[in-house]
Each structure stands twice: as structure tokens, then as C-alpha cells.
Amino acid sequence: METFGSRLHRAMAERGPLCVGIDPHPALLTRWGLSDDLDGLTRFCQIAVDALGDRVAVVKPQSAFFERFGSRGLAVLESIIRQLRGAGTLVLLDVKRGDIGSTVAAYADAYLEPSSPMYVDAVTASPFLGVNSLAPMFDAARKHGGGVFVLALTSNPEGASVQRARGADGRTVAQTIIDEISQLNRGAEPLGSFGLVVGATIGQTGHDLAGVGGPLLAPGLGAQGGRAADLRTVFGNELAAVLPSYSREVLGAGPDPAALRAATDRVLADCRAALTAAGQ
């Protein structure tokens, strides 16, 4: 069985280093001339999937915007996950789950067990109940070729007070998370299956990302103010592992499918330029 890290490495080589988020914000539904209800959600997602599904390496649906509509919203999410995976696109579900280990086991069943209706290639996870509380997700990912992206240095300004707090050994909370995820990826080639989330908005991190060995998801580009050129400042020598992620910046170009594709091509070109400019 091929690992998630290997599948992601190939997808990034074939389609380019880009993740596009499907975040059906109420304001975007309105902007696309759609109603803020289940019909609008369904139409929005169909247009986005048809326009982008076979072009980008990774699509990242944001679960919250589907959960707004209850079980019928989740049915739409399940449907687009199936369609995207059918088009050969890796699906990273942004759901930021975390809990005590016995409950994380149920989240692992929900997202990383192939028989689940919500089965995806990878999920985002919150480590703030302790990285090791996520062990059931890591185990399921290993068993089924999935991936887990763990929050480390998030793109929002509020994250720093928690993530940059220092423990007894002098390391920040984020560095502890980075070090634990690095251990999980040890020896994995060409890329580990355990990633970190590091916002493109945070400037020089002051953290050591050199040994991570897995993908570095970089949200915060576009609508939150991050620019592709900032990736070089944030990630330094680790540009080869960076997976830039845009949601509103691309989706704001819709609903015209050609405009969505043009926006995707534009941000991908920006990212390629930024990620290769340092001679990588």
C-alpha cells in the first residue's frame, strides 16, 4: 500500500504544489448569486468540484461550512469527497479534531477508515490535548495509507500566545509539536505522511522545521494577507515540503468555471515561482 506522503509527493510533482480550499462562506454564496441554504451549498460545491477537481493536487473542504447545514450539509460533503477522490484528487478534510485518545479513535474511524462514508486521504488535527492523544489517528493513517496534518504555528494572530508559550525544557509548545511529528516521519521517503500546519502569515518562525520530513501545509495566503513570496521567509530551506493553501482568494473568482481555473493557475504560478526561487 502506498503511503499518503508518497501519494502527495507524486500529486505535487504532477499537478503542482497547491491545495485549494472549498470554504462555502455565506458571503461567497451571495457573491456567486446563490442562496445561503442547502441548494446554494450544493450548487456552489458542484461548480467548484467541476472546475477544480481534476487540476489541483489537493482539495481541502472546510467541514464547518457543511456542518452549518446539519446532516444534509454533511451529505453534500460526503458527495464531493467521493467525486474529488474519483477524479484522482487528494482530499484533505479540514476538521481540526482532537480529544482524549479513546475519542480520537472514533475520529480516526470517521475519517481514516476506508469503509467510512466520510473517508478522506488526510485530516487536520489539533494537538492541544497532547500530540500523543492523536495516536489513534496516526495508527489509522499508517494502516490505511492516510495522512494527518497537525496544527503547529497557525495563521491567525491569536494562536501565538498558546503556540509560542515555553515549557520547562525551554522549547515552545509549537517546537514540541514539530519535534514529535518529526519523529513519526523518521525514515519516510520521499515524504512522510504526518504534516504540520504552519501559517503563511507568521513571518520568520524562529522554529526549527528542518527535520520534519513531512508536508508543511501553509494556509493564510490571499484573504488573510499572506503572499506567495512570504513562503520563502516563513519556510527558509524547507520549501520543497511546502503545500500552499488558498480558499477565498480562488473561490472569490467564481462562479464562472473559467475564472476559477484562471485564479487557480495564477496562484499556482505565484507559488511555483516563490518555491523555486531559492534554487530548490
**Rounded distance between C-alpha atoms, residue 162 and residue 233, angstroms:** 22
Of 136 and 219, the one with the shorter C-beta distance to ligand LLZGTKA7 is 219
Of 3 and 51, the one with the shorter C-beta distance to ligand LLZGTKA7 is 51
Q: Is 60 a catalytic residue?
A: no
3-state SS string over 201-249? CCCCCCCCCCCCCCCEEECCECCCCECCCHHHHHHHHHHHHEEEEECHH
Among residues 3, 42, 133, 155, which is the contact residue for ligand LLZGTKA7, using CB under 6 A? 155
User: C-alpha grid cell for residue 191?
Assistant: 515524504
Burial of 115 (0-12, 13-18, 19+ CB in 10 A): exposed
Of 105 and 160, the one with the shorter C-beta distance to ligand LLZGTKA7 is 160
Contact predicate 220/33, CB 8 Å: no
Applying the rule CB under 6 A, the residues between 186 and 245 that interact with ligand LLZGTKA7 are 197, 199, 219-220, 222-224, 245
Of 221 and 239, the one with the shorter C-beta distance to ligand LLZGTKA7 is 221
43 Cβ contact list (under 8 Å, min separation 6): 34
Residue 106-145 contact track with ligand LLZGTKA7, rule CB under 6 A, x = bound: ----------------------------------------
**Rounded distance between C-alpha atoms, residue 122 and residue 131, angstroms:** 17
Of 16 and 159, the one with the shorter C-beta distance to ligand LLZGTKA7 is 159
Total residues binding ligand LLZGTKA7 (CB under 6 A): 18
Min dist. Cβ of residue 212 to ligand LLZGTKA7 (A): 16
Query: Does 23 help bind ligand LLZGTKA7 (rule: CB under 6 A)?
Result: yes
**Rounded distance between C-alpha atoms, residue 196 and residue 55, angstroms:** 24
User: C-alpha grid cell for residue 49?
Assistant: 468540484
Catalytic residue among 7, 25, 96, 207: 96
Interaction site with ligand LLZGTKA7 (CB under 6 A) = 21, 23, 62, 94, 154-155, 197, 199, 219-220, 222-224, 245-249
